[in-house]
Chain A
Amino acid sequence: MTSEINPEQYASVPDAQGRFGDYGGKFVAETLMSALAELEALYRRLADDAEFQREFDEDMAHYVGRPSPLYEARRWSDQTGGARIFLKREDLNHTGAHKVNNTVGQALLAKHMGKKRVIAETGAGQHGVASATIAARLGLECHVFMGEEDVRRQALNVYRMKLLGAEVIPVTSGSRTLKDAMNEAMRDWVTNVDDTFYIIGTVAGPHPYPMLVRDFQCVIGREARAQSLAQTGKLPDALVACVGGGSNAIGLFHPFLPDESVAMYGVEAGGHGVETGQHAAPLTAGIPGVLHGNRTYLMQDEDGQIIHTHSVSAGLDYPGVGPEHSWLKDIGRVNYVAANDDEALAAFHKLTRIEGIMPALETAHALAYAEKLAAQMTPDQQIIVNLSGRGDKDILTVAEIDGIEL
């Protein structure tokens, strides 16, 4: 199917209605429609504004610490015995994950709109921390919604957010995870829409969020593309990234989409195994539907109710996925696969011991698949894995699974 797509088409989505093929759109209550229109108008103006871009680039360089290195994991590649594996080190960003690229961008938008208060939803807490961080720097009031279950399993990040001055609001409805945090953030936004900017953490939600979050995260792929050419003289043969909502994956993939020689793999959370039904892999085993403002692949039952997901990583524990990924799946440009909890945990330990880099459990899903992929490739081939976040926040979870009391 890929051959039917004109490479220029990748730059033309979403369309004016916010659609990526059949996916995306603006499925929200009427109260929010004018706020979304206002955000879109501002963003379209600023996206082409040299001064805004300069502000963003400056923050990326001096506050976030970009460019992040493209590091060749030689020992791991050697032990795997196939392709050369490179890691795009988003874990070295300020706050320890790719999330900050987006929160810096959206906070600049909030500043231009004169909003005094920002809200965010968070799963693993990385987006919450990145939002609280930029709110502290800009002097904005920050409320972070987090499922009660995630508050428990990501206690370190909860405390980080509090230290940064944010208020963390545990969400007790539904499955008490990321999707419920997003419901609650939407409810807050609809109530306080006049003075509040909603910093959505992933490439989901109503238009224009999937577009603008993608654009802010594309710094990952632009850098990686230039670094690959500079360091190895060629483009990679494959890209691998984990997919929850899908922001680190789209950020890496998007600048490479027109490069037909580059294969792409989005790795979803296989949980206890896709065949068990206990997973968070909507692109692998879901059905299109409407949730959180957009049409996309969802985990749902035969009555259109959203079903509970399972993943060892809070950041991937989400029943939907960004609409652009749904489109890229349907047109066949990106391959979507799954890695189970056990495979991710094994990859977490392996990278830590072999390369001295402790990845986030989310990222470990991408590493688990990359290892399998690399083994089937040859040493003259290259893979870039998005090392989307560092694993410090997951130490307690890993210790608990390993039966170790700290």
Chain B
Amino acid sequence: MSRIAGRFQALAEQGRKALVTYVVAGDPTPEVTAELLHTLVANGADILELGVPFSDPMSEGPTIQLGHERALDSGMRLRGVLELVRQFRETDKDTPLLLMGYANPVEYMGYAAFADAASEAGVDALLTVDVPPEEVDQVNAQLKRVGMDNIFLIAPTTPDPRLPLIAGQASGFIYYVSLKGVTGAGHLDVDDVRRQVERIRAHTTLPVAVGFGIKDADSAEAVAKVADGVVVGSALVQRVADVLAQGESSEAAITAAGALVQEIRAGIDRTTS
């Protein structure tokens, strides 16, 4: 069983929901990310999602775009991201970790070379925003070869006939994008999320995590009631950026991120059955 499947199963047995946290690797420096990952876990993150910086992050809102720009300025590239994961795995062998990014850096490295390097570094899964199931055959073949999961997005605009197509290619969990839009946008409609998660569950037994628009303990609690996991990204990236923009130290920023995760964890755990 993959680390991701194992984590969802263990949480389900405890009647708990998963907290997935997203940060951009290298934002604002590789050193901060290296420490931040452990802090996220210590404060209640179940699954780590690490953004791979890209020059053209087309699906990101302003908050995460700036994160990508800061990370690129710090010199972070796909190879550096894998090195960060390798370091992380020296002391944490249990927390599932997935990479989220865009097709081109992976395509340039080569799918086979990426799969080998990523699995060796300790990456559990890949989520490529701009690779829908229609384009995924080559990359999926390589991920399967090394036992990595491939995480797919499902959107409010995904029509029913596409659900089996996506479910058939996905493993680990399904990431439901709760809004039409870019990351960090808009307001959450929890009733709609509930209906959508039910719609997805009719086609898959994989856990369903929900992201986009979750900012705090209350929104996390609301989503955790209807899904298997909650993804927090922009709020976290913003918190770190805000503290640093005030001239505070990176330790202070990491502590602030940890506090936000703790708060969101508490919100999610109010749903523990």
Contact = CB atoms under 8 A, between A and B. Distances in A.
Q: Does A associate with B in a complex?
A: yes
Interface of A: 17, 25-35, 173-174, 179-180, 183, 186-187, 190-194, 287, 289-293, 295, 298, 300, 302-307
B129 A29 contact: yes
A33 B104 contact: no
Given A30-B177, A295-B107, A307-B55, 11 more contacts: A17-B134, A26-B135, A30-B157, A30-B166, A173-B69, A174-B55, A190-B182, A191-B185, A300-B108, A304-B106, A306-B56
Nearest to B152: A30
8 contacts: A26-B132, A31-B180, A191-B180, A289-B108, A291-B56, A295-B107, A303-B78, A305-B54
A34 B153 CA distance: 13
Interface string B108-132: 1100000000000000000001111
B160 to A, nearest CB: 10
B6 interface: no
Chain B CB within 10 A, most for which of A33, A34, A191, A304: A304
A173 B55 CA distance: 10
Nearest to B79: A303
A31 B112 CA distance: 28
A304 to B, nearest CB: 3
Interface in B151-172: 152-159, 162, 166
Interface of B: 54-61, 65, 69, 72, 77-79, 102-109, 129-132, 134-135, 152-159, 162, 166, 177, 180-182, 185
Contacts of B104: 289-291, 298, 300, 304-306
Contact of A34 (B65, B105, B162): B162
A319 B43 CA distance: 42
Contact of A193 (B131, B132, B180): B180
Contact of A33 (B60, B72, B158): B158
Contacts of B156: 31
A79 B72 CA distance: 51
A305 B132 contact: no
Contacts of B180: 31, 190-194
Nearest to B131: A27
A33 B61 CA distance: 19
B77 A33 contact: no
Contacts of B79: 303
Contacts of B157: 30-35, 193
Given A289-B107, A290-B103, A303-B79, A28 B177 contact: no
Nearest to B156: A31
Of B57, B135, B152, B154, chain A has the most CB atoms within 10 Å of the CB of B135
Contact of A26 (B55, B57, B108, B134): B134
Given A27-B135, A33-B132, A34-B159, A187 B106 contact: no
B55 A29 contact: no
A288 to B, nearest CB: 8
Contacts of A174: 55-56
- Complex A-B, nearest 8 residue pairs according to Cβ-Cβ distance, in ascending order: A304-B108, A304-B105, A303-B77, A31-B155, A191-B181, A290-B103, A30-B153, A306-B55
Query: Per DSSP, are chain A's interface residues mostly helix, strand or loop, or mixed?
Result: mixed
A303 B65 contact: no
A304 B107 contact: yes
A29 B153 contact: yes
B77 A187 contact: no
Contacts of A180: 56
Contacts of B59: 29, 186-187, 190
Contacts of A183: 56-58
B61 A187 contact: yes
B108 A29 contact: no
A29 B105 contact: no
Contacts of B152: 30
Nearest to A192: B180
B134 A303 contact: no
A34 B131 CA distance: 14
Contacts of B106: 304
A348 to B, nearest CB: 31
Contacts of B166: 30
Nearest to B158: A30
Contacts of B78: 303-304
Contacts of B61: 187
Among A34, A290, A298, A307, residue most surrounded by chain B Cβ atoms (within 10 Å): A290
A302 B132 CA distance: 25
B155 A29 contact: yes
B125 to A, nearest CB: 16
Contacts of B153: 29-31
A187 B69 CA distance: 17
B134 A290 contact: no
B182 A187 contact: yes
A27 B158 contact: no
A29 B152 CA distance: 10
B223 to A, nearest CB: 18
Contact of A31 (B107, B134, B177): B177
Contacts of B158: 30-31, 33-34
Contact of A30 (B102, B155, B181, B182): B155
A183 B157 CA distance: 20
A118 B25 CA distance: 36
B72 A305 contact: yes
Contacts of A179: 56
Contacts of B108: 287, 289, 300, 302-304
A28 B132 contact: yes
Contacts of A293: 130
Contacts of B107: 289-290, 295, 304
A17 B132 CA distance: 12
